[in-house]
A = this chain, B = another copy of it.
Amino acid sequence: MNIAHHLYSNNIKPSVQRIKIFEYLYNSKNHPTVDTIYCQLAGEIPTLSKTTVYNTLKLFIENGITSSLIIDGNEARYDAIMKKHAHFKCNDCGYIYDIEINDLKLKDSQLAGFEIGETNIHLIGKCKKCLTK
């Protein structure tokens, strides 16, 4: 996965900041918050500004290579995996799992004629790891 090329082919000029931010997002796979991303990269890019992280993620979202998810309400998390999937957040360890969706059936009649642009599914509970310890 060549990140610079990935950005280019999505109409994003690959600056150092953009490459590093996407690289972190893509490799970490832990649905980080802006603060997490900022703190992780502040070492590598000492001049990095939190505003840049916000701007960059917004740009990524607008160009369809990142999505945001809000599970807690208080702060947004980001995801470089664009394949449609659900999320499970464990209330104990805080980890957010990716869950594949096999099928979602809603009552058709109510949504007939509606245009659905986005489907968000998130579950909350306790994960296996936390339950068995």
| A residues apposed to B, CB below 8 Å | 68, 70, 73, 76, 86, 88, 91, 97, 99-107, 110-128, 131-132
Taking CB as reference atom, which chain B residue is nearest A119?
Answer: B123
Q: Are A102 and B113 in contact (CB under 8 A)?
A: no
B contact residues around A106 at 8 Å (CB): 86, 99-102
In the complex, the count of this chain's copies comes to: 2
Q: Are B104 and A117 in contact (CB under 8 A)?
A: no
The listed residue (B105, B107, B110, B120) touching A104 by CB distance below 8 A is B105
Chain B nearest Cβ from A63, distance in angstroms: 18
Q: Are A111 and B131 in contact (CB under 8 A)?
A: no
Taking CB as reference atom, which chain B residue is nearest A90?
Answer: B114
